[in-house]
């Protein structure tokens, strides 16, 4: 398929039709990753300058800034920024420091008054960052507004870039990322889970953990009952800094299964994938349409439990008001795994998504990080408020219990960090199914080479 014909089809087709297999993809990248990048304070310092002070990074959702004056502080290492909705409706980012003697103006998240007053010497600023209150005639108010940083939005997410010379967000993401993700209508989804917690591992250990499915047999054996893990069916697309991987969402060992066994497997999926629950009534209707008078279930050629699940998902979401015309049948069921550099991993399919982000720990310890888990669902407007989740900021390690698979990852990642500290282990040896990790670290290397 040519690029032109791919662009004329649904964007999601492009991933399936032009995606690389694990074997083909792994030939493109270094499959041995040095371990010092997970444990070295010197490497942390290099990442700070080459990556974190130069790239676009997600700091929240647009709906957190609904009203004029809504603000949110964002910290990366010892740097503090604030994003605020101005009285004029604009969304702006600033260095979180008074221009007089550097006193912080914002803490956490909240609603600012029309005048933002520094409590040290009472200089004041408006919601657009202009200096309004300073009685000293020697100060040029026009020259001492708050220092701006880049802020932009995509798919309902708010991005910030500390670099005043950064290219625009859409250029950083790239046309293909935007084109493939837009039809999901992420900006219309509601946050239904929002948890942040410090972990005893490097931030890249978190990213690596979610960039491959090779660990499912070892860490998530319960998934093997309901989910196929077949490298021959996995496809990858590498989009400069970013990537997307897709594996079919279907019942394990579906080949050779009769219709009843396929249906039985799909009915078990909600134990692991709760979002399937809402489409099961329509799925049952479609299945029953293939039953004979005596209850025998027979699927004609081209119909499987997977295709009926896809149709049920499309029918249910369309009925409830979500426009899914831009999504393929495979996107009704299959999770696409997205990596948006530097620290954004997302699994997404029609109507739902889960995002995992990790950032270096503010104290700079390479053996610690902050991870942030958010889940999103498309819900009819009348249900959004009831299901919207508030941030849970976990202070007591282990006190928050994640859903089963995520809890297993939560417990595994600090274990890996312990092993990575061994001096004689100088590199990790990736297998072909871990090629997304290899691509990801190639992007890290490209950034580090610039400083």
202 closest CA partner among 35, 333, 327, 341: 35
* Cβ atoms of residues 87 and 107 within 8 Å: no
Quick one: which of 119, 106, 117 has its CA closest to 74? 106
What b-and-e string marks burial along 401-439, b requiring 16 or more CB atoms within 10 Å of the CB?
eeeeebebbbebbeeebeebeeeeeeebebebbbbbbbb
CA-based nearest residue to 412, from 197, 199, 195, 194:
199
Q: Which distant-in-sequence residues (6+ apart) come within 8 Å of 341 by Cβ?
A: 55, 241, 242, 440, 443
**Cβ count within 10 A of residue 259:** 18
Query: Residue 311 and residue 419: Cα distance in Å, rounded?
Result: 46
Strands 131-133 and 115-117: unpaired
Tell the burial category of 53 from Cβ atoms under 10 Å away from its Cβ (0-12, 13-18, 19+).
middle
Cβ proximity of 74 and 83 under 8 Å: yes
For residue 250, the model assigns a pLDDT of 64
CB 252 within 8 Å of CB 269: no
Q: Is 60 helix (H, G, I), strand (E, B) or coil?
A: strand
Question: DSSP label at 302?
Answer: T
Domain coordinates of the chain in residue numbers? 8-53+175-248+334-450, 57-165, 259-332
β-sheet bridge partners, residue 235: 246
- 320-337 CB burial, b ≥16 within 10 A, e <16: eebebeebbbbbbbbbbb
pLDDT of residue 8: 45
Split the chain (451 residues) into runs of 10 and give each run's mean pLDDT. Answer: 49 77 88 97 97 98 96 97 96 98 96 94 96 94 97 98 97 96 97 97 97 82 69 86 85 72 86 84 96 94 92 97 95 93 96 96 97 96 95 95 91 97 96 94 96 80
Which among 433, 428, 58 is positioned nearest to 245, based on CA atoms? 433
* pTM, entire model: 0.93
The per-residue DSSP string of 303-367 comes to: --HHHHHHHHHHHHHHHHT---TTS-HHHHHPPEEEEETTTEEEEEETTEEEEEEEEE-TT--TT
pLDDT for 4 equals 42
HSE on the CB side for 30, CA within 13 Å?
12
**CATH number attached to the domain at 8-53+175-248+334-450:** 3.90.380.10
pLDDT at position 247, please?
79
Task: State the Cα–Cα distance between residues 310 and 328, nearest whole angstrom.
Answer: 9
237 closest CA partner among 441, 447, 436? 436
| Spatial CA neighbour of 235 closest among 14, 22, 70, 448 | 22
57-165 and 8-53+175-248+334-450 share a CATH fold: no
| CATH classification number, 57-165, choose in 2.60.120.260, 1.10.8.620, 2.102.10.10, 3.40.1350.10 | 2.102.10.10
CA angle, residues 183, 189, 191, in degrees to nearest 5: 145
């Amino acid at each position: 398929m040519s690029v032109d014909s791919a662009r004329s089809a649904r964007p999601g087709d492009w991933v399936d039709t032009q995606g690389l297999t694990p074997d083909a993809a792994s030939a493109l990248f270094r499959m041995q990753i040095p371990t010092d990048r997970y444990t070295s304070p010197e490497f942390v310092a290099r990442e700070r300058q080459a990556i974190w002070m130069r790239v676009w990074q997600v700091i929240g959702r647009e709906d957190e800034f609904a009203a004029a004056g809504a603000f949110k502080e964002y910290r990366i290492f010892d740097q503090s920024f604030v994003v605020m909705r101005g009285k004029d409706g604009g969304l702006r980012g600033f260095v979180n420091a008074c221009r007089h003697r550097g006193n912080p103006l914002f803490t956490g998240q909240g609603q600012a008054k029309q005048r933002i007053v520094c409590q040290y010497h009472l200089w004041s600023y408006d919601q657009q960052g202009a200096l309004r209150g300073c009685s000293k005639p020697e100060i040029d108010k026009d020259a001492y507004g708050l220092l701006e940083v880049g802020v932009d939005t995509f798919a309902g997410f708010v991005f910030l870039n500390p670099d005043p010379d950064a290219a625009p967000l859409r250029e950083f993401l790239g046309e293909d990322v935007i084109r493939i993700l837009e039809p999901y209508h992420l900006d219309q989804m509601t946050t239904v889970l929002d948890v942040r917690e410090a972990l005893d591992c490097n931030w890249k250990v978190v990213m690596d953990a979610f960039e491959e499915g090779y660990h499912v047999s070892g860490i998530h054996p319960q998934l093997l009952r309901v989910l196929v893990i077949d490298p021959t069916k996995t496809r990858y697309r590498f989009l400069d800094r970013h990537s997307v991987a897709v594996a079919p969402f279907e019942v394990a060992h579906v080949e050779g299964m009769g219709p009843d066994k396929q249906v039985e497997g799909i009915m078990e999926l909600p134990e692991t994938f709760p979002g399937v629950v809402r489409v099961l009534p329509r799925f049952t209707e479609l299945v029953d349409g293939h039953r004979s008078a005596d209850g025998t279930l027979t699927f004609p050629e081209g119909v499987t439990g997977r295709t009926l699940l896809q149709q049920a998902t499309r029918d249910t979401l369309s009925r409830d008001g979500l426009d899914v015309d831009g999504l393929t049948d495979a996107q009704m069921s299959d999770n696409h795994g997205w990596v948006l550099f530097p620290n954004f991993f997302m699994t997404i399919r029609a109507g739902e998504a889960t995002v995992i982000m990790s950032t270096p720990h503010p104290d700079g310890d390479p053996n610690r990080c902050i991870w942030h888990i958010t889940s999103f669902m498309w819900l009819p407007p009348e249900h959004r408020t009831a299901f919207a989740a508030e941030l849970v900021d976990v202070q007591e390690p282990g006190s928050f219990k994640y859903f089963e698979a995520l809890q297993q990852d939560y417990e595994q990642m600090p274990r890996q960090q312990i092993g990575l500290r061994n001096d004689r282990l100088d590199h990790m040896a990736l297998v072909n199914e871990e090629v997304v990790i290899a691509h990801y670290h190639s992007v890290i290397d490209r950034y580090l080479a610039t400083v």
